[in-house]
Amino acid sequence: LDERRGLRAAFALQVGGGALLCAVLALPLASYYGVPKQPFREAVAYAVAQRRDGVVVPIYTAQMGVRYYGVQHPSVTALVEGDTVRYARTAQALERILREENGRPLVLVTTFPRALRLGRPQLDAMVKAWWHPVETFRASVGDGDVTVWLPFSY
């Protein structure tokens, strides 16, 4: 009888310890899952609100997120490719957009700044020289924050 009690107590202790361990390990998940992987929906809505009569320009790695949430599945006014949204994956493409837009303000959207800095250093330098970050939306993906930039003259 005492042996059974001892086994039950050991089993209860193991189950209780396991449950406590699970609870402790699950606590950080609430904050982790409270942050989107990449908050393009919020960033695009913010960029659209900031653009006035300008153009939203996703830079390099931000293209697919802006296309998906701004053009294909918008939560606010849809962006129109070639009109209210243009894509720049290189410094030359951004220079061409600047020339073609003839003074219309460009609201930039970036993500993965390390990839931009290493993969397109000229484009990265151009963005930092002519625009300033106005809002950054936190992401749970490493280095995946989404930033909206406005021209210094805006």
What is the tens place of the pLDDT at every residue in 34-60?
A: 667 899 999 999 999 999 899 999 999
Q: How far apart are the C-alpha atoms of 150 and 108, rounded to whole Å? A: 7
- pLDDT band at 91; cut points 50, 70, 90: very high
Alpha carbons 76 and 110: distance in angstroms, whole number: 19
What CA–CA distances, in Å, run from 93 to 14, 57, 86, 120, 152?
62, 11, 9, 12, 20
Q: Is the pLDDT of residue 148 over 90?
A: yes
Mean pLDDT computed over 82-105: 95
pLDDT for the residue numbered 119 = 97
What is the H or E stretch that residue 15 is in? helix 2-33
User: Which whole-number Å values give the CA distances from 39 to 35, 48, 128, 133, 144, in the listed order?
Assistant: 8, 14, 22, 16, 9
Q: Please give the pLDDT value at position 33.
A: 64
Q: What is the model's pLDDT at position 34?
A: 66
Grade residue 77 by pLDDT with cuts at 50, 70 and 90: confident
Query: What residues form DSSP beta bridges with 131?
Result: 151
* Segments in 34-143 forming alpha helices (H): 40-51, 63-66, 91-101, 113-119, 121-130
Task: State percent of the chain over pLDDT 70.
Answer: 95
Judge whether residue 62 has pLDDT over 90: yes
As a whole number of angstroms, the distance between CA 21 and CA 15 comes to 10
Distances (CA, A) of 29 to 22, 40, 134: 11, 21, 29
User: What's the whole-model pTM score?
Assistant: 0.80
Which residue, 131, 80, 78, is CA-closest to 105? 131
pLDDT at site 139 = 93
Q: What average pLDDT is seen over the chain? A: 90
